[in-house]
Structure formats: structure tokens, C-alpha cells
């Protein structure tokens, strides 16, 4: 749920990249997070181990992670983001819930090398709606670091919009992809088959690809 507010080094995104509403307590409200929270929670509940350590990369507003922590109380959730305003929003959403399995958010730019050492031993790493907003080079770094951060047999779920066999499957996807590459040619939808190859190169086993609402996909991966 990374949005337009500020992505650290990536601030040249079109307005359609993310829409957030500001609330007086520092909380951010993203309509897209409201729409896709239920299917994401259902997917994680079906796929993930019921206990252990879970890291959410690019937690954004914090709306997803509070629902995930509530739905999966035996998983210890670590939210993260690259942007201070979103860290504040995550704290605000978290404070309302009083969830003992939800850690304070941490600053994390997952597109930089080396972060896995600090976060090693994750049983689950969740990434939602980020890869189309970063470059292929950054994507490769991120996937390698996910692999390094996972515990043995740990799972990762990577969710978002992707090309299918090099093709965009709807007019809205075509328009959004074009708006991204118009702003920065390094951005845009990644191809599903290229991602599966990249996962293998990083030492991740591709277990399945789940079709999700609004033409999104969720790659289910495991470090064996």
C-alpha cells in the first residue's frame, strides 16, 4: 500500500499511483486498502503458518497490518515503511487496536541491499502493491533480500498488478502502466514469468500464483 505521499527517493509518481485521505491524528486512509484488505487477509490466513514472525514490507497507511494482526494473533507482525508520515499513520492505526502481536513500525527501504541481516528469521514476508512502483534493478535487490531474510521453510506473499505473459489484460491496467512509465521509464508493471524466473534465481520456490480481485496476482513463495 505504498502511496503517492512520499516514497523516499521515488517522488515522481502519477496521481493515480495512490490516493490517501489525511486525518487529524496523523492517520492516513487509503480507499484501496479498504477494498483489498479482506481478500488479502483471507489469502494470508489460508497460506501462512499460524505462528511465528511476520514482516510486512511497505506497510503504507497501516490499515492492512492491523487487520492481519487481529486475524492472525499468533503471528508477531513487524510493519515497516520508507516514509516517516506513513510510519506515523501505522502507529496511529496500531495504537487504537492494542494488539500485543503488533510491533512498532520500523523505517525500512527494502530496495537497498543489506536489510535482511537485521530482519533475518522471518516465517512470513508480505509485500503488497510495490513492485510496479520501483525499477527492475530495485525489484531484484528486494527479492534477494526477502530470500535472505526468510527462515528455512519461510513463506513470502508478493501481491500486486503484473503483466500476464508480457501482456496487460485490461484498459485500466494499460492506462495505469503507461502513466507510470511516462513519469519514469524504469517503473511499470513487471511480467509474471520474469518474476517467477527472478524468484528462482534468488533461491525462492514458486509454489503458486493466486488470482486476486481487480486483476491483481499473488505469488506464493517458499525458501526451502
Q: Which residue has the higher pLDDT, 10 or 198?
A: 198
Q: Please give the CATH topology (third level) of the domain spanning 15-222.
A: Rossmann fold (3.40.50)
- Answer whether residue 140 shows pLDDT above 60: yes
Give the pLDDT band (50/70/90) at residue 20: confident
> 122 forms bridges with which residues in the sheet?
150
pTM: 0.93
Q: 25-41 pLDDT, tens per residue?
A: 888 998 888 899 999 99
Q: How confident is the model over 205-218, as a mean pLDDT? A: 97
Which residues are registered as beta bridge partners of 157?
126, 220
Tens of pLDDT, residues 177-189: 999 999 999 999 9
Domain boundaries defined on the chain: 15-222
Contact criterion met (CB below 8 Å) for 1 and 32: yes
pLDDT at 17: 62
Q: What is the pLDDT of residues 50-89, one digit of tens each?
A: 899 999 999 999 999 999 999 999 999 999 999 999 999 9
Among 8-22, 27-41, 190-204, the range scoring the smallest mean pLDDT is 8-22
Give phi and psi for 206, each to the nearest 5.
Answer: -80, 110
Q: How far is CA 122 from CA 30, 82, 126, in A?
A: 27, 19, 10
Q: Is it the case that residue 167 has pLDDT exceeding 70?
A: yes
Q: Predicted confidence band at 4 (pLDDT cuts at 50, 70, 90)?
A: very low
CA distances from 16 to 5, 20, 164, 178, 210 (A): 12, 11, 21, 11, 25
Amino acid at each position: 500500500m505504498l502511496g503517492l505521499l512520499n516514497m523516499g527517493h521515488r517522488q515522481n509518481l502519477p496521481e493515480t499511483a495512490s490516493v490517501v485521505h489525511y486525518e487529524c491524528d496523523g492517520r492516513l486512509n487509503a480507499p484501496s486498502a479498504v477494498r483489498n484488505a479482506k481478500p488479502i487477509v483471507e489469502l494470508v490466513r489460508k497460506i501462512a503458518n499460524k505462528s511465528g514472525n511476520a514482516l510486512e514490507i511497505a506497510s503504507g497507511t497501516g490499515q492492512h497490518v492491523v487487520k492481519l494482526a487481529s486475524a492472525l494473533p499468533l503471528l508477531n507482525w513487524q510493519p515497516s515503511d520508507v516514509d516517516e508520515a506513513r510510519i506515523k499513520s501505522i502507529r496511529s492505526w496500531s495504537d487504537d487496536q492494542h494488539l500485543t502481536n503488533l510491533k512498532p513500525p520500523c523505517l525500512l527501504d527494502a530496495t537497498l541491499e543489506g536489510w535482511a541481516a537485521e530482519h533475518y528469521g522471518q516465517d512470513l514476508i508480505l509485500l503488497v502493491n510495490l513492485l510496479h512502483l520501483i525499477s527492475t534493478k530495485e525489484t531484484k535487490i528486494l527479492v534477494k533480500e526477502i530470500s535472505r531474510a526468510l527462515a528455512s521453510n519461510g513463506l513470502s506473499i508478493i501481491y500486486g498488478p503484473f503483466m500476464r505473459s508480457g501482456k496487460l489484460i485490461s484498459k485500466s491496467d494499460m492506462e495505469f502502466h503507461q502513466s507510470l512509465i511516462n513519469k519514469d521509464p524504469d517503473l511499470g508493471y513487471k511480467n509474471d514469468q520474469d518474476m517467477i524466473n527472478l524468484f528462482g534465481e534468488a533461491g525462492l520456490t514458486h509454489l503458486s500464483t493466486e488470482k486476486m480481485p481487480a486483476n491483481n496476482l499473488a505469488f506464493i513463495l517458499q525458501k526451502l
